[in-house]
Amino acid sequence: IERTLILVKPDGVRRGLSGEVLRRVEAKGYVLAAVKLVDADPAVLAQHYAEHEGKPFYQPLVEFMLSGKVLAVVAEGQGVIPGFRSLAGATDPTAAAPGTIRGDLGRDWGLKVQQNLVHGSDSAESATREIGLWFPELG
Ligand code: GTP
Ligand code: MG
């Protein structure tokens, strides 16, 4: 069965939106396979965001991800990888369509595009890799 890694980022946890994100995932019909509230491990973050290393927003992004608790979630269901990306909406909350998590709940806080509430794996390869990083105990 297809699985994806979802993160409710520190802005979402801080704003009390963890339940709202999980509600939308479950209302869509996906099943929660694992959920945990964590302080992100810097080594895990470095691997998670390896593709962005060297970009100007990399360091602020990592610092933001270390600024509070993260809710890590494994969700499963047919098509859940593109399905959650669709639920999340565009990366920039200002551009994200209404009806999406980022479009309904996110906004531009100034200089902080990274505060876009959630992460979702972008491919089957990413999902396998990211689930292994955030949930080594599931391997
Ligand atoms: P994720 O699901 O979090 O991976 O988002 P994404 O796939 O829509 O975006 P991408 O993988 O390209 O970027 C990862 C994260 O880096 C984004 O979710 C943002 O938090 C942050 N980010 C991406 N582009 C920018 C940018 O131009 N500026 C800033 N400040 N942050 C960015
Ligand atoms: Mg991404």
Tens of pLDDT, residue by residue over 99-121, are 999 999 999 887 666 799 999 99
What gap in Å lies between CA 127 and CA 120, rounded to an integer? 8
Please state, as a whole number, how many other Cβ atoms lie within 10 Å of the Cβ of residue 89. 23
The model's pTM is 0.95
Mean pLDDT along residues 79-90: 98
Domain limits, the chain? 3-87+122-138
Tell me what ipTM this predicted complex has.
Answer: 0.88
Query: 119 catalytic, yes or no?
Result: yes
Please give all residues whose beta carbon lies within 6 A of any atom in ligand 1, as ranges.
57, 60-61, 91, 113-114, 116, 119-120, 122
C-alpha to C-alpha distance for 94 and 36, rounded to whole angstroms: 28
Catalytic choice (100, 119, 130, 134): 119
For residue 91, report the distance from its CA to the centre of ligand 1, in Å.
6
Distance, CA of 24 to CA of 88 (rounded, Å):
10
Cβ neighbours of residue 60 closer than 8 Å, sequence gap 6 or more: 112, 114
Rounded Cα distance between 48 and 5, Å, is 11
The dotted CATH code for 3-87+122-138 is 3.30.70.141
Residue 35 CA to ligand 1 center (angstroms) comes to 22
